[in-house]
Chains A and B, each alone.
Chain A
Amino acid sequence: MEATSPTLLRPLGLLAELTHRCPLGCPYCSNPVALESRADELDTATWARVFAEAAGLGVLQVHLSGGEPAARRDLVELTAAARQAGLYTNLITSAVGLSAERLAGLAQAGLDHVQISIQDSEAASADRIAGYEGAFVRKRALAAAVVQQGLPLTVNAVVHRANIDRIGEMVDQAVALGASRVEIAHVQYYGWAIPNRAMLMPAPEQVERAREQVEELRGRHHGIIVIDAVVPDYYARYPKPCVGGWGRRSLNVTPSGKVLPCHAAESIPGLEFWSVREHSVADIWCHSPAFNAFRGTDWMQEPCASCPRRFEDFGGCRCQAFALLRDARATDPVCHLSPHHGLLAELAGARRDAAYVYRRHTPAPAHATAQGDRD
């Protein structure tokens, strides 16, 4: 990396979206609504090169994700390649499609950590949310296998209106499964969660109760399990420092090799993304137009441009500013200083009980159900 300007740091984390294929249909999936196809996926050797180049640039951790990463037949080879590159290797899985045998292979290949998402503490509800019958049971089985392998386990509990009242039960389950860490991950409204916003949005009193409950759970499980939780965007006063700042600490490689500053970046029109098929990771990090679009603070408008918090939260999330205000340079309206902050309360108030639009590979019609080919 030749440049050492204060706005150009070395990345720490790489989110490797190995595939967009996934057996589940979670209505809050962060993948883009236009999913990439299997035919366009990078091959094993290219991913291995990406891992090596990323490590050379300074990346320390790789998150093998998707879609469902286990849908890749070469997952063990990819894990070995990441570890050989010197990366801390984290598998982010739905647990569906990953056998205990293959998990043992991953552990042998040097996998450092496993994160399994759960949809609810109750089987029927969990399977309904995932759009996949039997997912709940399979997740529990794989979690047990992870612990049996001696691998550290994080349970990622994705929280929204249908399950937010059972945070306590989900954390208790994570403890019982032997997880060392649990994330209370309020749904963020990107990708598939946008068309499902009215169905997923919790009520304000639920959010307040969840906040109290997390505090109580942290006290009760101190030293047993680490509980990470953040305030859900639409009920926050300040925006999250999205991905630690645009083009600052992390990058995301899509299944076909496009390199994005964050997983939702393609939702902003007019950005030019470069691919690992044509450029090295270092070249992309330093020079691709998309990465430089919102680096530093020069792009900011008021109230961000003169705000003392601009080096802490970087104006919040560019994708959210565009999704809600059609201006990617605007202050994230999550911030109470945004003139459009009131919009969030309005959207949060627009709750509606209706069938989810499940994530699937073909563009989802309004009547989409859990059935159908998502491959």
Chain B
Amino acid sequence: MTEPPGEALPMDARPHLPRGVRLVDSAAQGGLVLLAPERVFKPDAIAAEILKRCTGEATLAAIVDALAATYGAPRERVLADVSTLLRSLVDKKLMEL
């Protein structure tokens, strides 16, 4: 990863989409898309799995545990991937913690 690691995100944060940002499943566009003011993001498969879990209910710790269990991946690696995505979305105002 070329980006600096940045400050660790709080593990008890409950990431969720802010109002005005919606994750929708579009059959015509072939899957999940994140819709935001004047922007459309097509998440890749990994990002889509992360985004689906950012409902404001699960904590960051729970999301990481669930993904690590589902994909049999090391927890630290999953945490790094999730943190990178969340930080970048928070910067763009597409996610709240």
**Contacting chain B: which of A24-32, A52-60, A265-273, A360-368?**
A52-60
Q: Does A12 contact B (CB under 8 A)?
A: yes
Q: Does A252 interact with chain B (Cβ within 8 Å)?
A: no
Contact in complex: A60, B93 (CB < 8 Å): no
Q: Does A219 contact B (CB under 8 A)?
A: no
Asked if B76 is an interface residue, CB under 8 A from chain A, the answer is no
In B2-51, the 8 Å CB interface with A consists of: 18-22, 24, 26, 28-29, 33, 35, 37-38, 40
The answer to whether A57 and B28 have CB atoms under 8 Å apart is yes
Among candidates B22, B29, B40, B92, residue contacting A226 with C-beta atoms closer than 8 Å: B92
Whether the pair B93, A226 counts as a contact (CB closer than 8 A) is: yes
Check A152 against B20 for contact (C-beta < 8 Å). Answer: yes
The residue among A56, A112, A151 with the most chain B CB atoms within 10 A of its own CB is A112
Instruction: Determine if B37 and A12 form an interchain contact, defined as CB atoms under 8 angstroms apart.
Output: no
CA of A61 to CA of B38, assembled, Å: 8
The verdict on A181 contacting B37 (CB below 8 Å), with A58-B26, A112-B22 known, is yes
Q: Which residues of A contact B37 (CB under 8 A)?
A: 90, 112-113, 115, 152, 154, 180-181
A61-B35, A61-B40, A222-B91 known; A150-B28 Cβ under 8 A: no
Chain A: minimal CB distance from B69 (Å): 32
Q: Is A223 an interface residue (CB 8 A)?
A: yes
Whether the pair A150, B40 counts as a contact (CB closer than 8 A) is no
* Given A86-B24, A226-B92, also A60-B19 (CB < 8 A): no
Collect the chain A residues with CB atoms within 8 Å of residue B26's CB. Answer: 58, 60
Measured in the bound complex, the distance between the Cα atoms of B38 and A226 in whole Å is 12
**B68-97 residues at the A interface, CB under 8 angstroms:** 90-93
Q: Which of A56, A150, A152, A223 contacts B90 (CB 8 A)?
A: A223
With beta carbons under 8 angstroms apart, the residue of B18, B22, B40, B92 that contacts A12 is B40
Q: Is A38 an interface residue (CB 8 A)?
A: no
Contact of B28 among A58, A61, A152, A223 (CB under 8 A): A58
Question: Which residue of A is nearest B21, CB measured?
Answer: A152
How far does the alpha carbon of A115 sit from the alpha carbon of B35 in the complex, in Å? 15
What residues of A have a CB within 8 angstroms of the CB of B91 in the complex? 222-223
A234 sits at the interface (CB 8 A): no
In the complex, how many angstroms separate the beta carbon of B8 from the nearest chain A beta carbon?
A: 16
Which residues does chain A contribute within 8 Å of B92, judged by CB atoms? 226
Residues of A within 8 A of B19 (CB): 150-152
A-B CB pair tally, cutoff 8 Å? 59
**What CA separation (Å) do A154 and B93 show in the bound complex?**
12
Q: Which residues of A contact B40 (CB under 8 A)?
A: 12-13, 60-61
Interface flag for A341 (CB, 8 Å): no
Q: Tell me the smallest distance from the CB of B83 to a CB of chain A, in Å.
A: 16
Residues of A within 8 A of B24 (CB): 60, 86, 88
Q: Is the CB of A10 within 8 A of B38?
A: no
Least Cβ–Cβ distance between B17 and chain A, in angstroms: 11
Q: Are A113 and B20 in contact (CB under 8 A)?
A: yes
**Residues of B contacting A183 with CB < 8 Å?**
38
Among residues of B, the one whose C-beta sits closest to the C-beta of A225 is: B93
Enumerate chain B residues within 8 angstroms of A86, measured Cβ to Cβ.
Answer: 24
**Chain A, Cβ-Cβ closest to B90:** A223
CB distance from A107 to the nearest CB of B (A): 10
Query: Are the CB atoms of B28 and A10 closer together than 8 Å?
Result: yes
Q: Which residues of B contact A151 (CB under 8 A)?
A: 19-20
**B33 contacts across to A, CB distance below 8 A:** 60
Complex CA distance for A226 and B88, rounded to whole angstroms: 12
User: What is the CA–CA distance of A228 and B36 in the complex, to the nearest angstrom?
Assistant: 14
Would you call A152 and B29 a contact (CB within 8 A)?
A: no
**Contacts of A90 on B, CB cut-off 8 Å?**
37-38
4 tightest A-B CB contacts, nearest first: A152-B20, A58-B28, A88-B35, A113-B37
Taking Cβ atoms with an 8 Å cutoff, the residues of A that contact B are 10, 12-13, 55-58, 60-61, 86, 88, 90, 112-113, 115, 150-152, 154, 180-181, 183, 222-223, 226, 228
- Can you report 23 A-B residue pairs in the complex whose CB atoms are below 8 A from each other? A10-B28, A10-B29, A12-B40, A60-B24, A60-B26, A60-B29, A61-B38, A61-B40, A88-B22, A88-B24, A112-B20, A113-B37, A115-B37, A115-B38, A150-B19, A152-B18, A152-B37, A154-B37, A180-B18, A180-B93, A181-B38, A181-B93, A223-B91
